[in-house]
Structure 1
Amino acid sequence: MMVENQARSVRQRQSGGRASSRTVVLPLVILVIFMDMTVYSLVIPVLPSYIRLLGADAVMIGIIFGMYSAMMFLFSVPMGMLSDRVGRRPVLLAGMVLLAVSTVVFGFATTVSSLIAARIIQGISAAATWSAGLALLADTYDRTELGEKMGVTMSAMGVGMVIGPVAGGYLYEHVGYALTFVVPSVAAGLVAFMILILPLGLHPPPSRRSAALLPESGRLHLALYAAAVVAVAATYGIIEPYLPVYLADSFASSPVVVGLVLGLLALVGVVAQPFAGRLSDRYGGHILVTVGLSLSGIALALVMAMPDLLLVAVAVSLMGITLSLALIPTMPLIADLYRGEGAQGIAFGIYNTFFSVGLAVGPFAGALLTGLLLPRTLFLFHAAFLAVTGVFGFFMLRNAHFRRGGRSAGSSEGLTTPPEDAPRI
């Protein structure tokens, strides 16, 4: 009887620990992602003018801003692998500490080289927090609910992107350059303290072996999911610099109007992403990803076809929905490929790497093609690319599904949902 009581007590404590960690993990990861994106976008209205005061030109402005994505590309997979080896908490903590440090360096930078160093540190911080944070969600939630949690978390990214520039401009005008960065550095330090003290669940021993970079099965699926992530990220990468040019040329839109249209895209995405994740949990993500890509191509073509600005805004809002449908389901799908291998850090390191590739490819491809094409033609080419990618992905995934005997990637060997009493990281 005593042994049974002790066993029951252990199970209750484990169950209580899991419930406690589930209560803590989602808000904490949301806060981490929100903090990262707020600081990332906070510099947008502030740095260009300050960099010019230091004697730098437009090329140097581009280099400084591009360092963030470059560091995300280089460090996402290593940080994910590190979180698989040592646990999520140390990597998350290091990411927030680095974010606080980079923000202080921004605030007290007096040379262009120190600004570059600050942006490099900020990019490494993002690689750590995004890879470990999303992996922590995948550790905590199974495939029946992970899509919705990922959608809610990505909504925090959108909110941070909206709040950051507003906060940066306001602080810069009212408290000056240095304090504009000191304030968020203190906030990042507080988040780091929360990561240190809050319960994140049960911790298995660190892995003694390095997991393979690619999953043992489902590599074709991974390639298709990665292509979808790159396509969506490239769409955002093209829209941000070139849609304002199109709107100004075609409708004589003022900067305020352009900002409202882009803000509408972000706002609709914030609302649509949890919904897209919930659909993914309920119906599976393969169809949503491919249909979302094709619908995004149609929506982008509609943006170019609309004869007045109001209809353009409606079509842009539609893109906020379709891009969410294409992107959010890829996250639980990629997590599922690595679920049986104890390598969620690698999974989301790969996700972040391909997203950063898309963000870089979009503007660079646009820069190369704008010398040959009008912005409208550029967008129509990209719309066709999205639609074709969606259709191609649909047939490739369907063929792979049939070759596996009617099973999806998530139901293949080694990819089953872990039992409820599996340890959490």
Structure 2
Amino acid sequence: MALFGTDRRILALAMARMADGVGNSFLIIVLPLYIASGIVEGRTFGLTESMIIGIVLSLVGFVSSFSQPFTGRVSDRTGRRKPYILFGLGGLTAANLLYLFAGSYLSLIAVRALQGVSIAFIIPTSVALVNELAGAGTRGGNMGVYNTFRLIGFGAGPIAAGALVNAGPYSLLGISLGGFEATFYVAAGAAALGFALVSYLVHDPAELSKAGGDLSVDVFADGGGLDPVFTLGIASLFMAIGIALFATLQPEVNARLDQNSTWFGVQFAAFIIAQVFLQVPVGRASDRWGRKPFILGGLVLLAPSTLAQGIVLDSWLMLAVRFVQGIAGAMVFAPALALAGDLATGGDSGTKLSVLTMAFGLGVALGPLSAGFLVSLGFVVPFAFGAALALCGLVLVYTQVEETVGEEAPAPDSKSAPQD
């Protein structure tokens, strides 16, 4: 059974990602508070508390990003997706519970590394499965559905986490739980819910076979120039760096605009809100009118909306440019994944799509580090850097990537997604 043209297995997978997204984003808010609370002790190796927090938060992104090409390739070789998704969700559940016992900085870093490896098993295999379950004429729309649910979970998590920590301690069946303990249990429960949804509602396509031949990622195309999937990966990296600059600069932004943290939270959320509302319609439009125009349009919009964040001096204007940046991101996300999926043949979806997911995760990890370094040169500098990267991505996609949706391609409503 399908809902609004989306295969129920894709909906189940999207809801599973929403559930584990809630748990993962919980920790973005909770772990800095957990470290600062004094509960975590042990050797700091001369690092300041803020540096330790930065390492702990960014570690997942680096470990996950560099592991994804390997997990995607293994799933292609074995011709299976679901077992690796379940393995990752199981590892994520265990990692979230292990935070309860992480009393030292080293143990906290070890748990974060486990979490990163677990996520690496989930992301490329789940995106590859969406790619294979969706038909050629619905790939963009289905990628949009998948990304929308994931973003809803990621956006809701931090709001719920702050409330959960502050409202503690709790008493449950006579057992007292502190705010941090309750948060780790909820994060583990969210991952476990994702595990249950995938277990009972998601199945690998019957026609999925083991990939043969060379699964290495090409940098250059056979006819010269860069490989289109590699090019999309570079563009995704540049985009992710640009959109991740803002989060690190909260003190500087608030001081510059003379605003409080509530304003900053609303501005941060504006990007996600735009994504949630536009991912599906943009993805479906790319099924009908082509992938490349939307990717190019998004990168064109990304450059000025990123640069403007370093220029505006009003909180409302910052809210507006953040929303516009969200529109730009929505125009790139789903169409880029769909275009890479169009180019995947012979069961190599995991390998090809992992190039984009790895690049995006790496960009999200590098963005905050770039912002922290470049802001010392001037407030506008990190945003100018992000805008320049967006323009570089624009040139690369324009010159190195060809359209995959031809005039003969079926419209989204003329071919529904595969059914169970």
Give the TM-score, by structure 2 length: 0.84
- The corresponding residue for 1:115 is 108
Distance change (3 Å), C-alpha of 1:202 and 1:332: closer
Q: Secondary structure at the match of 1:342?
A: coil
- The corresponding residue for 1:377 is 381
Q: Secondary structure at the match of 1:213?
A: coil
1:387 Cα deviation after fit: 3.0
Distance change (3 Å), C-alpha of 1:113 and 1:249: same
1:261 Cα deviation after fit: 0.8
- The corresponding residue for 1:183 is 186
- Distance between the aligned counterparts of 2:317 and 2:381, measured in 1? 19
Pick one of 122, 129, 139 that aligns with 1:136: 129
1:308 Cα deviation after fit: 2.4
CA contact (8 A) 1:228 1:289 kept: no
- The corresponding residue for 1:357 is 362
- The corresponding residue for 1:196 is 199
1:150 Cα deviation after fit: 1.0
Matching of residue 233 in structure 1 with residue 240 in structure 2: yes
Which one-letter code corresponds to 1:195 in the other structure? V
- The corresponding residue for 1:62 is 54
Deviation sequence 1:98-121 (CA, Å, 0-9, x none)? 111011101232222222122112
Deviation sequence 1:128-177 (CA, Å, 0-9, x none)? 11111111111111221111111121122221222111222222232322
- The corresponding residue for 1:323 is 329
Q: Secondary structure at the match of 1:341?
A: coil
- Distance between the aligned counterparts of 1:37 and 1:367, measured in 2? 25
Q: How many residue pairs are counted as aligned between the two chains? A: 391
1:25 Cα deviation after fit: 1.4
Q: Give the superposed CA RMSD.
A: 3.0
- The corresponding residue for 1:43 is 27
- Distance between the aligned counterparts of 2:6 and 2:390, measured in 1? 36
Distance change (3 Å), C-alpha of 1:287 and 1:246: farther
1:230 Cα deviation after fit: 0.7
Which one-letter code corresponds to 1:237 in the other structure? A
CA contact (8 A) 1:211 1:343 kept: no
Larger Rg: 1
Distance change (3 Å), C-alpha of 1:381 and 1:129: closer
- Distance between the aligned counterparts of 1:217 and 1:111, measured in 2? 51
- Distance between the aligned counterparts of 1:370 and 1:293, measured in 2? 23
CA contact (8 A) 2:133 2:417 kept: no
Distance change (3 Å), C-alpha of 1:237 and 1:208: closer
Matching of residue 170 in structure 1 with residue 163 in structure 2: yes
Higher helix fraction (1 or 2)? 1
- Distance between the aligned counterparts of 1:344 and 1:396, measured in 2? 20
- Distance between the aligned counterparts of 1:382 and 1:213, measured in 2? 30
Distance change (3 Å), C-alpha of 1:214 and 1:424: farther
1:208 Cα deviation after fit: 6.7
- Distance between the aligned counterparts of 2:111 and 2:133, measured in 1? 33
Deviation sequence 1:20-48 (CA, Å, 0-9, x none)? x9643112221222123212210122212
Q: Secondary structure at the match of 1:45?
A: helix
CA contact (8 A) 1:139 1:424 kept: no
Distance change (3 Å), C-alpha of 1:416 and 1:263: closer
- Distance between the aligned counterparts of 2:309 and 2:50, measured in 1? 30
- Matched residues, percent identical? 23
Deviation sequence 1:335-356 (CA, Å, 0-9, x none)? 1111x22111112222221112
1:225 Cα deviation after fit: 0.9
Pick one of 338, 348, 354 that aligns with 2:353: 348
